[in-house]
C-alpha cells in the first residue's frame, strides 16, 4: 500500500487529530460531488461523509486492521454504499454512478459499519434519555477518563464515595435504557 497512506493510518492510531482533520478536509469535496450528483444536498453529503470517516477512524484503532486499499478508495466506497442505503430508504432511484472505485472486502466492511451504526444509534438514544448529570458523569469517567476525584470536584459531590455511588446508579440506568428495546 502507499507509504503515505500507511503513515496516515499510523498517525491516526497515535490519536494525531491534526492528521485526521486534514484527511477530513482533503476528501470531503470528493464525497460532496458524489452525493450532490446523485440527488443529495451538501448537508446530506456531510452526514454521510462523517459516518464514513468515523468508520475509517474506528477501523484504524483496531490492532488487526490492515489497509487493503487507498484511504480515498475506502472513504469513497463506504460513502457510496451509505448513500445508496439512504436513497433506498427514501425510495429514490438508485445512483447512476457505477461502482468504479471499490476494494475487495467492501461487503464485510459494510456489515461491520452497519452494525456499528446501529449499536451507536442505540447508545446515543439511551444517553439522551438518561439526561444530565448522569450523561456527563458517565462520559467523563468512561470516555474522557477523568479520575473519581476530578468528577467529585466537577459535579460538586461531597466525596468520592458519593460520586462512585452516583456513577454506579447512572450506569445501571443506562444499561436498562440501552437493553430495553
Partner 1 sequence: MDQDIIEMLDQYFRNELSQERRREIDERLKNDASFKGEAERHFAFLQTLENAGRRAALKNSFDLIHQHIPADERKPVVVPSPGFRRFWPAIAVAASVALLSVVTTVLTMQNVSETESKYIDLRRNVEQIQRSQKAQKAILDDIASKKADPIAASYTGTGFMVSGSGYIATSYHVIRDADSVYIQNERFGILKAIVVRTDQVNDVAILKIDDPAFTPSGQLPFVITSAQSDLGAGVFTLGFPREEIVYGEGTISAATGYKQNVTAYQIAVPVNPGNSGGPLVNQTGEVVGMISGIQTEALGAAFAVKSNILLDVINNIPADSLGKSIQLSRYNRLKNHDRTQQVKRLRDYVFMVKVYNQR
Q: Give the binding site for partner 1 (CB under 8 A).
A: 1-4, 7-8, 11, 14, 16-19, 21-29, 32-33, 36-37, 42, 46, 50, 53-54, 57-58, 72, 96, 116, 119-120, 123-124, 127, 138-139, 141-145, 164-165, 168, 171, 174-175, 178
Q: Which residues have CB under 8 Å from 37's CB, separation 6+?
A: 97
The Cα angle at residue 167 between residues 162 and 169, in degrees rounded to 5: 95
The answer to whether 70 touches 1, Cβ cutoff 8 Å, is yes
Least separation in angstroms between residue 139's CB and partner 1 is 5
Nearest alpha-carbon partner for 2 in 61, 72, 52, 55: 72
Shortest spacing between CB 90 and partner 1, in angstroms: 19
CA 100/CA 72 separation, integer angstroms: 13
Give the number of other CB atoms < 10 A from CB of residue 144: 10
Rg of the chain over all Cα atoms, to the nearest angstrom: 20
105 vs 115, beta carbon nearer partner 1:
115
* Residue closer to partner 1 (CB basis): 28 or 83: 28
Question: Whole-angstrom Cα distance, residue 149 to residue 133?
Answer: 16
Q: Which residue, 92 or 142, is less far from partner 1 as judged by CB?
A: 142
CB 99 → partner 1: shortest distance, Å? Answer: 14
Nearer to partner 1, 1 or 107 (CB): 1
Shortest CB 81 distance to partner 1, Å: 19
Provide the minimum distance between the beta carbon of 130 and partner 1 in the complex, in angstroms, as a whole number.
11
Give the residue with the Cβ less far from partner 1, 37 or 88. Answer: 37
Whether the Cβ atoms of residue 95 and residue 83 lie closer than 8 Å to each other: yes
Amino acid at each position: 500500500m502507499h507509504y503515505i497512506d500507511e503513515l496516515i493510518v499510523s498517525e491516526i492510531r497515535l490519536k494525531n487529530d491534526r492528521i485526521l482533520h486534514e484527511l477530513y478536509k482533503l476528501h470531503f469535496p470528493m464525497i460532496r460531488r458524489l452525493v450532490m450528483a446523485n440527488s443529495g444536498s451538501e448537508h446530506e453529503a456531510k452526514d454521510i461523509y462523517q459516518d464514513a470517516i468515523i468508520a475509517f477512524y474506528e477501523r484504524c484503532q483496531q490492532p488487526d486492521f490492515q489497509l487493503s486499499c487507498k484511504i480515498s478508495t475506502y472513504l469513497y466506497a463506504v460513502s457510496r454504499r451509505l448513500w445508496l442505503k439512504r436513497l433506498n430508504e427514501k425510495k429514490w432511484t438508485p445512483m447512476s454512478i457505477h461502482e468504479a472505485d471499490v476494494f475487495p472486502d467492501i461487503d464485510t466492511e459494510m456489515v461491520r459499519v452497519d452494525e456499528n451504526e446501529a449499536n451507536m444509534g442505540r447508545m446515543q438514544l439511551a444517553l439522551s434519555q438518561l439526561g444530565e448529570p448522569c450523561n456527563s458523569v458517565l462520559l467523563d469517567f468512561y470516555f474522557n477518563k477523568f479520575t473519581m476525584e476530578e468528577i467529585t470536584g466537577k459535579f460538586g459531590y461531597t466525596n468520592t464515595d458519593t460520586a462512585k455511588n452516583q456513577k454506579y446508579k447512572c450506569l445501571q440506568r443506562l444499561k436498562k435504557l440501552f437493553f430495553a428495546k
